[in-house]
Structure 1
Amino acid sequence: MNTSPHATSQVLARHDDLFSQQHLVVAGQLADNYPLNLLEQVASLQVCCSHFGHHQYFAKQANGKLSSQFSAAPSLAINSNALLLFMPKAKQEAAYLFACILPQLEVGAEIFVVGENRGGVKSCEKLLAEFGIKVKKIDSARRCGLYFGVLNQAAPQFDASQWQNSFEVALPNASLKVKSLPGVFNHGKLDEGSQMLLEHLPTLHGSVLDFGCGAGIIGASQALLHNVDISLLDVSAYAIASSKATLQENQLTGTVIASDGLSEVKQRFDFIVSNPPFHAGIDTQYETTERFLAQAKQHLNANGELWLVANSFLQYEALIKQHFSRFESVLDNKKFKILRCCV
């Protein structure tokens, strides 16, 4: 968890008494540990984490006022009367969070939204207007905006099934039915990189880990096509829920793992397949994938292989050379490349 104040937190820090004695809910695209600064002023603090690593961080804090949950659809205390939402990169994820959280707040609850201008924080005005909430900007600094409104009427009950997108991925002699929630990478469709990886994977066998699984497309497709034991791993609560739904929809069995990197993985695999992430919100971030590449060999059996797809501009080869005895570029079309790494 980042402990250096993000620009959004610096804006909030200009308002010391916004949440005095509130039963506050914090959700959205958390960029640092700012919510801990609020413990002295709030009556209680519920942090709703969609990032497993963030949940682990807040869950370890010893404070009776603080609770943390890792869930795609958090359940709140009945006395919750204020919301602080850090605006997510994806507008549809923000809409989903409002739909999920607002019905659980008391009428009269105060709503605060903070985010970067380039991240589209202004769109909260239209999103909250759908719930009859009129918001106004109460601060603007560090290229960020802070918005405020009041929930004057009860919000409609949340139905998660209405937010689940369904689509199919064509496979050789089969079709995979995919379930996807807002907040999942490339929500609602198969991305070009994963499509390319699926087309060039060999016939897998044994145990397979899909790292950064998203809606579970790569791993589930291998279970549908081959006799393999699959594990699907992601840091996102939306991805975990989506992957479970994808497996269920296709009557497949597999293990779904919530993990920040490979921290929760205790076994070795014959294959690891991945379209690894390189974004954190609206920022480019390579740390997760670099850590994954450094640790992946420890989770492969003898003669195990790592297959990954990456944007061509990402220079992972030097790091791979440090940890794998050999690797090859299976394909590079100048937009994406597929790398095969051997123990």
Structure 2
Amino acid sequence: MNTSPHATSQVLARHDDLFSQQHLVVAGQLADNYPLNLLEQVASLQVCCSHFGHHQYFAKQASSKLSSQFSAAPSLASNSNALLLFMPKAKQEAAYLFACILPQLEVGAEIFVVGENRGGVKSCEKLLAEFGIKVNKIDSARRCGLYFGVLNQAAPQFDASQWQNSFEVALPNASLKVKSLPGVFNHGKLDEGSQLLLEHLPTLHGSVLDFGCGAGIIGASQALLHNVDISLLDVSAYAIASSKATLQENQLTGTVIASDGLSEVKQRFDFIVSNPPFHAGIDTQYETTETFLAQAKQHLNANGELWLVANSFLQYEALIKQHFSRFESVLDNKKFKILRCCV
């Protein structure tokens, strides 16, 4: 969890008094530990984390005033009377969060939304209008906006199934049914990079880890095609819920792991496959994948292999050379490359 103040937090810091004695719910795309600054003002603070690492951070600070939960559909205390939403990059994720959280708030609850202008924070006006909430911009600074509205009527009950997107991925002699929630990478469709990786993977055997599994497409497809023991790992609560649903939909068994990087992984695998993330919100971020590449070898059996797909502009080869004695570029079509790393 970043402890350096993000631009959104610097805007909020001018308005800490807005949350005085509120039973506050914090959700969305947290960029730093700003919510801890509110502990002295609020009556209680519930942090709803979709990022497992953020949940671990706030859970360590838990107290009679502060609670944290890691869930794709958080359950709130009945006295919750204020929401502070950090606007996610994906508009559909924001819509999902409003649909989930607003029905659990007291009528009259105060709604605050903060986000970067380039991240589309202004779209909260239209999203909240669907719940009869009129919002106004109450501050604008550091290329960010802070919006405020009031929940004047009870919001419709949340039905998670209405938000679950279903689609199929064609495989050799099989078809994988995929379940996906808003907030998952490439929600609702197979991305080009994963498609290329699926086309070039060899016949896998033994134990397989799908790192950054998203909706579980790569790992679940290997379980459907081959006799392998699969584990699917992601940092996102939406991905964890989606991967579990994908396995269930295809009557597959596997282990689904919530983890920030490989921190929660205790075993070794014969294969690790990945379409690793390189975005944090609207920014490019390499740290997660760099840490993953540095640690992956420790989680491979003898003669184990790491297969990953990456955008061609991402220069991972130099880092891979530091940790793997053998690696090859299986494909480079100038847009994506597939790398095979051997222990």
In the superposition, the TM-score normalised over structure 1's length comes to 1.00
Q: By how many angstroms is 1:63 displaced?
A: 2.6
Cα deviation, 1:196-238, whole Å, max 9, x if unaligned, reads 0000000000000000000000000000000000000000000
Q: Do the aligned partners of 2:11 and 2:139 also contact (CA within 8 Å) in 1?
A: yes
- Corresponding position: 1:221 with 2:213: no
Q: By how many angstroms is 1:267 displaced?
A: 0.1
CA distance in 2, matches of 1:101, 1:63: 22
- Corresponding position: 1:299 with 2:299: yes
2:203 partner SS: coil
- Corresponding position: 1:209 with 2:224: no
- Corresponding position: 1:127 with 2:132: no
CA distance in 1, matches of 2:217, 2:33: 32
Q: By how many angstroms is 1:62 displaced?
A: 4.4
Cα deviation, 1:58-111, whole Å, max 9, x if unaligned, reads 000143200000000000000000000000000000000000000000000000
Aligned length: 343
CA distance in 2, matches of 1:187, 1:211: 17
Q: Do the aligned partners of 2:223 and 2:229 also contact (CA within 8 Å) in 1?
A: yes
1:16 partner SS: helix
Q: By how many angstroms is 1:325 displaced?
A: 1.2
After TM superposition, the structure 1 stretch with the greater mean CA deviation from structure 2, 61-70 or 306-315, is 61-70
After TM superposition, the structure 1 stretch with the greater mean CA deviation from structure 2, 166-175 or 12-21, is 12-21
CA distance in 2, matches of 1:2, 1:325: 33
Q: By how many angstroms is 1:56 displaced?
A: 0.1
CA distance in 2, matches of 1:337, 1:311: 6
Q: By how many angstroms is 1:9 displaced?
A: 0.1
CA distance in 2, matches of 1:241, 1:248: 11
**Gap runs ≥5 in structure 2:** none
CA distance in 2, matches of 1:337, 1:235: 24
CA distance in 1, matches of 2:62, 2:97: 27
2:204 partner SS: coil
Match of 2:318 in 1: 318
2:194 partner SS: helix
Q: Do the aligned partners of 2:62 and 2:68 also contact (CA within 8 Å) in 1?
A: no
CA distance in 2, matches of 1:26, 1:39: 12
CA distance in 1, matches of 2:244, 2:163: 15
CA distance in 2, matches of 1:15, 1:157: 31
Cα deviation, 1:216-267, whole Å, max 9, x if unaligned, reads 0000000000000000000000000000000000000000000000000000
Cα deviation, 1:246-289, whole Å, max 9, x if unaligned, reads 00000000000000000000000000000000000001000000
Q: By how many angstroms is 1:188 displaced?
A: 0.1
Q: By how many angstroms is 1:16 displaced?
A: 2.4
Match of 1:197 in 2: 197
2:239 partner SS: helix
Match of 2:115 in 1: 115
Match of 1:283 in 2: 283
Q: By how many angstroms is 1:301 displaced?
A: 0.0
2:19 partner SS: coil
Cα deviation, 1:152-187, whole Å, max 9, x if unaligned, reads 000000000000000000000000000000000000
CA distance in 2, matches of 1:42, 1:324: 50
In the superposition, the TM-score normalised over structure 2's length comes to 1.00
CA distance in 1, matches of 2:16, 2:30: 19
Identity %: 98
CA distance in 2, matches of 1:63, 1:285: 32
- Corresponding position: 1:271 with 2:271: yes
CA distance in 2, matches of 1:93, 1:280: 15
CA distance in 1, matches of 2:86, 2:266: 33
CA distance in 1, matches of 2:67, 2:153: 26
**Gap runs ≥5 in structure 1:** none
CA distance in 2, matches of 1:232, 1:93: 22
1:15 partner SS: helix
Match of 2:3 in 1: 3
Q: By how many angstroms is 1:6 displaced?
A: 0.1
2:243 partner SS: helix
CA distance in 2, matches of 1:99, 1:248: 25
2:15 partner SS: coil
Cα deviation, 1:131-172, whole Å, max 9, x if unaligned, reads 000000000000000000000000000000000000000000
164 and 62 in structure 1: CA distance in 2 versus 1, 3 angstrom threshold: closer
Q: Do the aligned partners of 2:103 and 2:155 also contact (CA within 8 Å) in 1?
A: yes
CA distance in 1, matches of 2:118, 2:64: 36
2:184 partner SS: coil
CA distance in 1, matches of 2:306, 2:262: 14
CA distance in 1, matches of 2:340, 2:62: 44
CA distance in 2, matches of 1:237, 1:121: 22
2:18 partner SS: coil
CA distance in 2, matches of 1:284, 1:139: 27
CA distance in 2, matches of 1:91, 1:83: 17
